[in-house]
Every structure is written in structure tokens, then in C-alpha cells.
Structure 1
Amino acid sequence: MFSKEEIVASYQQLQDTICKGLEEADGKAFFEEERWTREGGGGGRTRIIQDGNVIERGGVNFSAVHGKLPEKIKAAFDVQEDDFFATGVSIVIHPKNPWVPIIHMNIRYFELNEQTRWFGGGIDLTPHYVIPEDAAFFHKRLKDICDQFQTDFYARFKKWADDYFFIKHRNETRGIGGIFYDRLQPDNSKLSYDQLFEFSKRLGEGFVPIYAELIKRNQNKAFTPNEKDWQFIRRSRYVEFNLVYDSGTKFGLETNGRIESILMSLPPQANWVYNFQPKTGSEEEKTLRLLKKDIDWVGSH
């Protein structure tokens, strides 16, 4: 059985590997690191990259925190224990080119005691313009990772992502989904804790190869001012989801997390346009039609 120290060391190594891979994919910008400590216990390493060839702004954050759970979080988790430990890696990348998608990944481990502990995480893609071939590639790679552990993981976690990354007040998904899971334990996964830890790591290791390929496919595509404006509108939807629905944002704020690290997921610029209506037959309209739940990207492409 792994220890907390092993998970911390593994997630730190993943942060290092992912940062190096993103720097290589961008070809210009480098991460800046800020180390921080949390008043209640623990701390982390916030790494920000910006003004690159491809990446306008992005963050790859590691944290390992512990202390007393606030009453609101205890109620949400339906637990009585006070002392908690949580560690994870969280990534959000906002690209310059509107044809390159926004990507988000989070892997995490949470523990109250030997009986109450779980893994959570996921990865999802938010294209400004949905490209079906790219969506199929993304989902196929995630299915390949899931299938190495449980054949039902992809279907379960894809539906979870479709439901989770849904902007209810807009009646649209944030993007084309991906996989999402939470409170994963042996009794609901048919895997041991060690296997769940391995699954968490494998997902993290898949991040750079997947996103580097999507960057390669789209980074040199020309774009118009109108397409850039559409990118800013789609970013505003991203902001709305993160501030209204995102559980990681809520947990960070409720546990007195570092605000700069929590809100690094927000883009450098987003625009809200009153009652925007895309032109009939436009690429923008096509994308909106594909921001729906339950699309079978793997089977239909």
C-alpha cells in the first residue's frame, strides 16, 4: 500500500514532466514557479506559463494540504471527521489560436482516515470550434487509458463528465467533455487502492502526448478577427462554469486555499456579448450544435 509521501512525490514528478512537455510543445515560453504555504497546513507549487507561441496563459499546479475540514465541506462530504489530507495536480491551458482547444486536467487524492479516502480527477477538452476528428482522437485516447484498468471506466466516466461539465443556465456543455470521476474507491471501482493510484498516474502521463498532438494539428491555422471574438465568447462560458459549478474551485475557496492558484483556471481575457446569435450555417452555429451531452465521439468517427 502506498503512503501519502509516495503520492506527493509521484504528483510532483508528474507536474515536472508535464511542465517540460508543455514548454517543448510551445517552443517559446517557460513556466515560472511560486511556492506557497497554507495557513491551515501544507502548501504547493504554482507554475504559470504565458505569452508563448501557442499558450496565452496556462497553469500546472501541485498542492498537498492538510488540516481541519470546514463545517460546510464536512456536510457536503457527509463525514464527521475533522482532519483531512488532500493532494493533486491541476492544469488549465488557454491557447492563443482559437483553433487550438482549451484543456483541463485534475488528478487528486483525498483522505480522512484509513476507511475514508478516495481518488478523483478527470480531463476534458473545450474547443472554441469543435473539430469532430480532434474530438474523436481525444476520446479514443482516453478510452485506451481507461480500458487498461476497467472496460466500463470510459463509458461511466464519460457520462459523468457530460453531466458534470454542463452549464445548466446555458443548456450547453462546456466543451466536448472527456472523463470525470470522484470518490473512487475499491468498492465502486473493483480495483485496489494501488491500482487506482496507478490509474491516476496513467491519466496524468497521457496529458502531454494528447495535447501536444492537438497543438500540432491546429497551431498554424490562420484565424480572423471574428474567430478571435468567438474565442473570447467561448472563454466567458468557461468562466461561468468555473465560478458557478466547479467543485475544485468551491473546495479551494472553502478550505482557505491560495486564491491565485485557485483562479489560475480563468483566461486572461473573456468577453460577454448580449444575446449573441450565430449566423445560420456558420462554424459558430455548428459548434453550438455539438455542445450537447451523450455524443458518441469514438463510435461515430
Structure 2
Amino acid sequence: MTTDTDTQLQPFRQQVEQWMRQFQQWLYTELQTTDGGATFAADLWQHHSGGGGESRVIQNGRILEKGGVNFSAVWGQMDERAAQHLLMPDPRYFATGVSVVQHPRSPRVPISHMNVRYFEAGNGEAWFGGGLDLTPIYVDEQQARWFHGQIEQVCQRHHPSYYPRFKDWADEYFFLPHRQETRGVGGIFFDRLVVGKDGSREELFAFIQDVGEVYGRTYCELMRRNAELPYGEAEVAWQMQRRARYAEFNLAFDRGTKFGLETGGRTESILMSLPPRCEWHYNVQPAPGSAEAQTQQWLKKGVNWAENSPNSLD
């Protein structure tokens, strides 16, 4: 049965879904052009309860060893456990979003993640979520500060509290408690920005659009800047260790992974975020004073990355 709330939400729902589709196409085209060695292949899939998505995956590129830009728009009724986890008194839902993870070939190019999403619960409540973060194999302080500075500028255009609030949220979220280290240099993370409570539909929608744009612009620049830097076997060995940490987070803590698996999403698309290769070796400790040890020292909460951030990398 269609309710008055359903009828009211549908035009906006369609607007957000259409933008998500267009954003996916824009982003994978930008990444593909920057890579210059492979294309993002399409994989269309259907969800068992309604809707579906399109996964766009690149493999064995010039810069990107593996990456994905995935779109989905799904609806239906959650099982009781998933609905309770999301604090939903009514298990009916609609969800659309774009989820992105890129695993570069070179250890000099950071791993990156971004997602933007829109969710409607069966009781009429609607909210946005998302975030973006950077996981360098070797932390380049100037580039990390520039990345955060670009994000801070976007956040300031929408609300003065957004960057400090969402940066702290990212520090808490992108954290491996069993390792006592952050996944990388962070970024921003925000969940359940409720329409009406945290802003109008239009205001919150404009914010996630800007989040998507700043990700595409900054990450393509970092790809171009770092792809040709030299590296050897020692750097690749460290890359395999850091990729393993990334896999640990995504399998044990990532909410998107859990949501996708619990709601019966396409497994290949959900696990696209995992690196193509990684290694676990027992009790690896970087040599004191090494570049690896210096990177390890940055992997902590509370770093004021936006302080003294350059306007450009030139």
C-alpha cells in the first residue's frame, strides 16, 4: 500500500537516484582517464527484493591495480536483525548510493575510499550518510594536509561544524582497535544526517554532491602526482602489509560491508573493496627511523591535518 509519505518522497528519491547514477559515470570516467591503461567494466545486478545496481570495476590498469565505483538503488523489507541494528521500527526501506575503493599498483599512490548514500525508512524518516578517507602506504605530510584542507573548504561551505565534527567521527570510525591504529590519515565520516533534523533535503543533498566532487578531484590529482615515483621490493612488501590492515578493517568493522551482506546484496560488489593482493606476516616491526616507521607514527587519532594545509601541491 502506498502512503501519503511514500508519494511525497518518491520524486525526491528519484532525483537522488538519478544523481547517483550520473555521479558514478562521471567519477569512473575521471578515474579511467587518469589511469590511462584500462577501463571500468560494467557488471549489472538485481536485488532479490527490488532494484539493483551497476558495479564498475577496473583491474590491471596503469595506475590502479584494482578499483571499483559501484552504484545501487535497492528497496524491500529488512529482516528483523538488520532492522533492529539500524534502529528502524518499520523494516521497509529504500537505499541508493555510490561506493568507491581504489587500490593502486604503486605503493607511492594512496589507497582511497569514498561513499555517499541516501536512505528512507518505512516510517517516512530519511537520511544521508557518507565519507571519504585516504590510506597512504607512505604518508606524505604535505599531501595529507592538502587533502584535508580541500575537504575542510567543502565542509565550510555548508556548515562550520561539519569538518571538525566529521573529521573526529572519521578518526573514531576508521580505526582498528585490535591494532590501536587508524586505517590511514582519515578524512570525514558522517552517518544518519536526518532530513528535517539536520537540514533540509536540498541542503543535505547539496552537501553529499560536494563530497563526491572533492573526492574525484583530489584523488585524481594524487594519482597523477605519485604514479611515476620510483619504488622497489621493500616498498611493495610494506604495501602488502598495509593492504592487509585495510582488509582487516573492511571485513571486521566496515558498516557498508555488513549492511550489504545482511540485506542480500551482490557479494562480488560488496567485497570489491578488498585489495587484489595482501600479506600477513607474524609481528612485523618497521626498523627504527625508517620511512615505514615514520608512516606508522602518523596512524593515530587527533592529528590536526588541516592545520597549515597548502592551497595547492605546486
For this structure pair, what is the TM-score category when the shorter chain's length is used for normalisation?
over 0.9
Written as runs of structure 1 = structure 2, the 5 A alignment for 1:173-212 is 173-186=182-195, 188-189=197-198, 191-212=199-220
Question: Aligned equivalents of 2:200 and 2:90: distance in 1?
Answer: 23
Q: Is the 8 A contact 2:90 2:123 kept in 1?
A: no
Query: In 2 relative to 1, CA 276–100 (structure 1 residues): closer, same or farther, beyond 3 Å?
Result: same
Residue 113 of structure 2 corresponds to 104
Q: Is the 8 A contact 2:126 2:195 kept in 1?
A: no
Classify the secondary structure of the residue corresponding to 1:257: coil
Letter in 2 for 1:107: V
Question: Aligned equivalents of 1:26 and 1:209: distance in 2?
Answer: 14
Written as runs of structure 1 = structure 2, the 5 A alignment for 1:121-200 is 121-186=130-195, 188-189=197-198, 191-200=199-208
Classify the secondary structure of the residue corresponding to 2:165: helix
The farther-off stretch of 3-12 and 204-213 is 204-213
Residue 4 of structure 1 corresponds to 13
Query: In 2 relative to 1, CA 10–242 (structure 1 residues): closer, same or farther, beyond 3 Å?
Result: same
Question: Aligned equivalents of 1:206 and 1:24: distance in 2?
Answer: 17
Q: Is the 8 A contact 1:18 1:207 kept in 2?
A: no
Letter in 2 for 1:14: F
Question: Aligned equivalents of 1:113 and 1:74: distance in 2?
Answer: 10
| Structure 2 residue 56 is the aligned partner of structure 1 residue 55 | no
What percent identity do the matched residue pairs reach? 47
Deviation sequence 1:227-252 (CA, Å, 0-9, x none)? 00100100000000000000000000
Letter in 2 for 1:72: R
Letter in 2 for 1:201: Q
Letter in 2 for 1:250: K
Residue 233 of structure 1 corresponds to 241
Question: Aligned equivalents of 1:186 and 1:250: distance in 2?
Answer: 24
1:115 is displaced (CA, Å) by 3.8
Q: Is the 8 A contact 2:108 2:227 kept in 1?
A: yes
Deviation sequence 1:48-92 (CA, Å, 0-9, x none)? 011111000000000000011121111112221021000000000
Classify the secondary structure of the residue corresponding to 1:142: helix
Question: Aligned equivalents of 1:286 and 1:13: distance in 2?
Answer: 40
Residue 248 of structure 1 corresponds to 256
1:207 is displaced (CA, Å) by 1.9
1:208 is displaced (CA, Å) by 1.8
TM-score by length of 2: 0.93
| Structure 2 residue 311 is the aligned partner of structure 1 residue 270 | no
Question: Aligned equivalents of 1:275 and 1:129: distance in 2?
Answer: 19
The farther-off stretch of 97-106 and 206-215 is 206-215
1:113 is displaced (CA, Å) by 4.0
TM-score by length of 1: 0.97
Question: Aligned equivalents of 1:70 and 1:197: distance in 2?
Answer: 28
1:201 is displaced (CA, Å) by 1.0
Written as runs of structure 1 = structure 2, the 5 A alignment for 1:37-116 is 37-113=46-122, 115-116=124-125
Residue 220 of structure 1 corresponds to 228
Number of equivalent positions: 300
Query: In 2 relative to 1, CA 237–188 (structure 1 residues): closer, same or farther, beyond 3 Å?
Result: farther
Unaligned stretches of 5+ residues in structure 2 = 1-8, 310-314
Unaligned stretches of 5+ residues in structure 1 = none
Deviation sequence 1:144-167 (CA, Å, 0-9, x none)? 111110011000000000000000
Query: In 2 relative to 1, CA 239–163 (structure 1 residues): closer, same or farther, beyond 3 Å?
Result: same
**Stretches of 4+ moved more than 4 A in 1?**
none
The farther-off stretch of 125-134 and 66-75 is 66-75
Question: Aligned equivalents of 1:257 and 1:84: distance in 2?
Answer: 14
